[in-house]
A and B are shown apart, each in its own frame.
Chain A
């Protein structure tokens, strides 16, 4: 058994230690807000926070998360997170929406590190998150809006 702290709760999972955290979250814990997009840490749809830092859960063995604190889209609580989600809704960022959990997790991590990011900061923090609907312009605007609010 592997013991994880997910969204503030202690969870025990019986999984192969090499299982990517993504599949444990989705298949074992039923937390389906985190999405699968590529499986090789190229698209960012699976982004979650590990001790507050963004990671690509599709390429992160669950065993390496043991004893650490995992936050998923379902567990976002911080002031920055609320500001980000509110800005996402207010600006109607989403289209298909499939990548947006990952986008939001990366955006929240950015704002928690850097409350007033520049465009270059946003490029740097968000370049690993693909959106095939190309909502990037609104993602950028929403991050700036959340920065003003948070």
Chain B
């Protein structure tokens, strides 16, 4: 095991030694609690941005720009504009800035930025928000410049003080030095540097000078807080007089409340209010248990007339019919007009993908506090700008009267990036409905979280592949059927020529040289809300494309890796990722153990290319994935260990959905409600994951999502070798699988 660095060890020892039961905190304590227990990480609480905006209030502090603050005690605070949901953005952004700053990493702390799109917009989105695996890519230049600018100011301050040319001053590990023997810590020069005008166009490091970026080291900034139970999530927020609410929600999407009787609910000890809100009936109480007891005591009468009663099974049937005829053209580039050569043979395939829930560990929640003509919210705000607009509208306040406190969240996987901000808006509604009397946390139970919607849409794909006499593709005609994720939301402007790109990404343009490729789309309307789910369109498109490529390889009598390499034209990143994974897995060199089959898949999403090679065994009719070898090209690897973690996590998340994931719609409601009937991955099913990163000096691309798409098709391709069955419907648990007599393992 790697040793902790000394400072981390010291802090860990102190923290572990000082761990005592935390008393209930007052608001004053709460406001100070960022520094509680001597943590290396300032526990992310979000409001410290206000202090940054007013550096004059902090004598001796250098605030070179909106991102970096150097304090007299040498602490370097880096403002994180992105939401931390586990993906490691906090550590990544801090690493970029700290490297250019030549900061002492052990003195780096992170704080979450306030909502301010002028300062903190995602440059890939134009609003403040996190998604599409863009955090590193959009911040790369920005955070480097921030670090370099702060460093230049510290250097100039030292030059002025020492009366030496700035060019002669060296910086490393938070210390300024000069050949004359002069030496100063950053904190000692912070006050003088703060008096200088920030320079523009500061040169950035040559990558060979990086000291943190690309180095293989541990040191996530949030590890300690999250390993000691001290990180503050929305469910942990403490405010004076804070109330807890749960909402009795419609029993089906589209149901309307006719009437309710709250008399028994109001009798429950601890229940303070029962109020009607647009989302249902909120039971407000002094704690979660009385709120739940109160909700149980409600008598509710619902009007089900508006419910879209189609079941998942009916939707699949409708979609299969639609998939037989072309929809709106969606391929890129548009299909060549030339007539296809006559096919020697064809493959016709229909694929089915169910609704999926995100099921993040922390069920959706938000704290809303209306006071003094203002609104404060505390939540895992992933899309700060749209959350702020939605919260303001719900409160009837102008957006500038709304202060967001962005906390770390217990996972999102797309769920918290909701332009409708459902979990924020309902909290504001409840806060208003109790007359702004107290701050209130609306907390969903697991059942609320799983049944109140926003699912990965249900999709059907229909594909006809024409193969020539060699078994190689001559034409690929593909139709996708499913709900649009962005239609009717503020992201609807993404729809071009009737095509929601999130429905088709990963299939609209193939990396393989395949003639006469044509994709069309039918966007359907169903009465339940849908949302992006970690890797979005690629959750289904990669499965279709990558299993069909294996079918082509079989038809052509070619090795699946070799055929992919042969079809990849002008795609050096795909080739590199695939070769790396194949080499490390021993593809074609070392045979897997008896009873184990190997499968491959390759997919680009969010500008990152990931190849996966899986070893699969069939145990009790179900795939047991034993090993996954990952090859990833994500440009410059900022934190290789964070990249490995995201690939490991992406594999596990994808495997859960491939094995078990399905939300079944029945009578307008999800049949599944909790982890007993919506199974997710558990320890015994986790494969051994080995991650190999393609060396690259290109700008970094994202890693939060791209580890997901290749896993399921790689497993399906291995399963074919075991069973002779082409699995075209997910999840695997609903398929009847058995080892084929002539299994080609």
Q: Which residues of A contact B (CB under 8 A)?
A: 6-7, 9, 15-16, 19-20, 23, 26-40, 42-43, 45, 72-77, 82, 85-101, 104, 122-123, 126-140, 145, 148-149
Contacts A134-B651, A136-B686 given: A92-B235 contact, CB under 8 Å? no
A129 B683 Cβ-Cβ under 8 A: yes
Cβ contacts under 8 Å, B16 to chain A: 76, 82, 85-86
Cβ contacts under 8 Å, A133 to chain B: 86, 361, 411, 649, 652-653
Could you mark each residue 429-470 of chain B with 1 if its beta carbon is under 8 Å from any beta carbon of chain A, else 0? 000000000000001011100000000000000000000000
B649 A95 Cβ-Cβ under 8 A: yes
A38 B653 Cβ-Cβ under 8 A: no
Q: How far is the CA of A32 from the CA of B407 in the complex (A)?
A: 15
Q: Which of A87, A89, A93, A99 has the most CB of B within 10 A?
A: A89
Q: How far is the CA of A134 from the CA of B19 in the complex (A)?
A: 27
Cβ contacts under 8 Å, B650 to chain A: 134
Cβ contacts under 8 Å, A130 to chain B: 361, 675, 680-682
Cβ contacts under 8 Å, A32 to chain B: 22, 229, 232, 235-236, 238
Q: How far is the CA of A15 from the CA of B86 in the complex (A)?
A: 35
Within 8 A of A (CB), among B33-87: 85-87
Contacts A9-B21, A23-B289, A129-B683 given: A72-B86 contact, CB under 8 Å? no
Residue of A nearest to B237 (CB): A32
Interface check B223, CB cutoff 8 A: yes
B22 A30 Cβ-Cβ under 8 A: yes
Cβ contacts under 8 Å, A90 to chain B: 1-4, 218
Contacts A75-B21, A91-B1, A138-B645 given: A33-B228 contact, CB under 8 Å? yes
Q: How far is the CA of A90 from the CA of B363 in the complex (A)?
A: 28
Q: How far is the CA of A117 from the CA of B631 in the complex (A)?
A: 31
> Smallest distance from the beta carbon of B525 to chain A beta carbons, Å?
30
Interface check B110, CB cutoff 8 A: no
Interface size class of B (residues with CB under 8 A): 35 or more
Contacts A30-B22, A43-B361, A96-B411 given: A89-B676 contact, CB under 8 Å? no
Cβ contacts under 8 Å, B227 to chain A: 85, 88-89, 93-94, 97, 100, 104
Q: How far is the CA of A92 from the CA of B408 in the complex (A)?
A: 17
Cβ contacts under 8 Å, B492 to chain A: none
A92 B223 Cβ-Cβ under 8 A: yes
Q: How far is the CA of A127 from the CA of B642 in the complex (A)?
A: 24
Partner of B4, one of A75, A89, A93: A89
Cβ contacts under 8 Å, B286 to chain A: 27
Residue of B nearest to A86 (CB): B12
> Smallest distance from the beta carbon of B455 to chain A beta carbons, Å?
16
A96 B229 Cβ-Cβ under 8 A: no
Q: How far is the CA of A148 from the CA of B1 in the complex (A)?
A: 10
Cβ contacts under 8 Å, B684 to chain A: 123, 127
**27 A-B pairs, CB-CB below 8 angstroms?**
A9-B21, A16-B269, A20-B289, A23-B289, A30-B25, A32-B235, A35-B361, A37-B361, A37-B446, A42-B676, A94-B222, A95-B88, A95-B411, A95-B649, A96-B85, A96-B408, A96-B410, A96-B412, A97-B227, A98-B360, A98-B411, A99-B361, A101-B229, A134-B652, A135-B648, A136-B682, A136-B683
Could you mark each residue 688-714 of chain B with 1 if its beta carbon is under 8 Å from any beta carbon of chain A, else 0? 110000000000000000000000000
Q: How far is the CA of A115 from the CA of B227 in the complex (A)?
A: 20
B4 A45 Cβ-Cβ under 8 A: no
Q: How far is the CA of A46 from the CA of B511 in the complex (A)?
A: 46
> Smallest distance from the beta carbon of A147 to chain B beta carbons, Å?
11
> Smallest distance from the beta carbon of A96 to chain B beta carbons, Å?
3
A126 B683 Cβ-Cβ under 8 A: yes
B1 A97 Cβ-Cβ under 8 A: no
Interface check B674, CB cutoff 8 A: yes
Interface check B106, CB cutoff 8 A: no
Cβ contacts under 8 Å, B362 to chain A: 35, 37, 96, 98
Q: How far is the CA of A104 from the CA of B683 in the complex (A)?
A: 14
Interface check B477, CB cutoff 8 A: no
A132 B231 Cβ-Cβ under 8 A: no
Interface check B722, CB cutoff 8 A: no
Residue of A nearest to B15 (CB): A85
Partner of A76, one of B19, B445, B641: B19
B689 A85 Cβ-Cβ under 8 A: no
B361 A27 Cβ-Cβ under 8 A: no
Q: How far is the CA of A31 from the CA of B675 in the complex (A)?
A: 25
Cβ contacts under 8 Å, B361 to chain A: 35, 37, 43, 45, 96, 98-99, 130-133
B652 A96 Cβ-Cβ under 8 A: no
> Smallest distance from the beta carbon of B360 to chain A beta carbons, Å?
6
Partner of B288, one of A27, A42, A88, A99: A27
> Smallest distance from the beta carbon of B677 to chain A beta carbons, Å?
10
> Smallest distance from the beta carbon of A20 to chain B beta carbons, Å?
7
> Smallest distance from the beta carbon of A145 to chain B beta carbons, Å?
5
> Smallest distance from the beta carbon of A32 to chain B beta carbons, Å?
4
Interface check B179, CB cutoff 8 A: no
B649 A135 Cβ-Cβ under 8 A: yes
> Smallest distance from the beta carbon of A118 to chain B beta carbons, Å?
13
CB-CB nearest 7 A-B residue pairs: A134-B652, A33-B229, A98-B410, A97-B226, A96-B86, A95-B86, A27-B287
Interface check B388, CB cutoff 8 A: no
Cβ contacts under 8 Å, A98 to chain B: 233, 360-362, 409-411
Within 8 A of A (CB), among B395-444: 408-413, 443
Could you mark each residue 195-223 of chain B with 1 if its beta carbon is under 8 Å from any beta carbon of chain A, else 0? 00000000000000000000000111011
Interface check B23, CB cutoff 8 A: yes
Partner of A132, one of B3, B645, B653: B653
Partner of A27, one of B19, B23, B289, B656: B289
Residue of A nearest to B2 (CB): A90
Cβ contacts under 8 Å, B651 to chain A: 134
Interface check B244, CB cutoff 8 A: yes
Cβ contacts under 8 Å, B289 to chain A: 15-16, 19-20, 23, 27
> Smallest distance from the beta carbon of A132 to chain B beta carbons, Å?
5
Interface check B8, CB cutoff 8 A: yes
B4 A86 Cβ-Cβ under 8 A: yes
Interface check B24, CB cutoff 8 A: yes
Cβ contacts under 8 Å, A82 to chain B: 16
> Smallest distance from the beta carbon of B412 to chain A beta carbons, Å?
8
Could you mark each residue 625-644 of chain B with 1 if its beta carbon is under 8 Å from any beta carbon of chain A, else 0? 00000000000000001100
A34 B235 Cβ-Cβ under 8 A: no
Partner of A35, one of B2, B410, B447, B681: B410
Q: How far is the CA of A139 from the CA of B680 in the complex (A)?
A: 17
B683 A29 Cβ-Cβ under 8 A: no
B359 A132 Cβ-Cβ under 8 A: yes
B218 A26 Cβ-Cβ under 8 A: no
> Smallest distance from the beta carbon of B14 to chain A beta carbons, Å?
12
Within 8 A of A (CB), among B232-263: 232-233, 235-236, 238, 244
B223 A94 Cβ-Cβ under 8 A: yes
Contacts A29-B21, A86-B4, A132-B413 given: A92-B363 contact, CB under 8 Å? no
Interface check B20, CB cutoff 8 A: yes
Cβ contacts under 8 Å, A149 to chain B: 1
Contacts A136-B681, A137-B689 given: A74-B220 contact, CB under 8 Å? no
B287 A23 Cβ-Cβ under 8 A: yes
Cβ contacts under 8 Å, B4 to chain A: 86, 89-90
Q: How far is the CA of A126 from the CA of B684 in the complex (A)?
A: 8
Q: How far is the CA of A31 from the CA of B236 in the complex (A)?
A: 9
6 A-B pairs besides A100-B227, A132-B359, A136-B652 with CB distance below 8 A are A7-B20, A36-B443, A37-B361, A72-B229, A123-B684, A134-B653
Cβ contacts under 8 Å, B649 to chain A: 95, 133-135
> Smallest distance from the beta carbon of B22 to chain A beta carbons, Å?
6
Q: How far is the CA of A27 from the CA of B244 in the complex (A)?
A: 10
Contacts A35-B361, A87-B1 given: A139-B408 contact, CB under 8 Å? no
Cβ contacts under 8 Å, A30 to chain B: 22-25, 238
Interface check B224, CB cutoff 8 A: yes
> Smallest distance from the beta carbon of B535 to chain A beta carbons, Å?
14
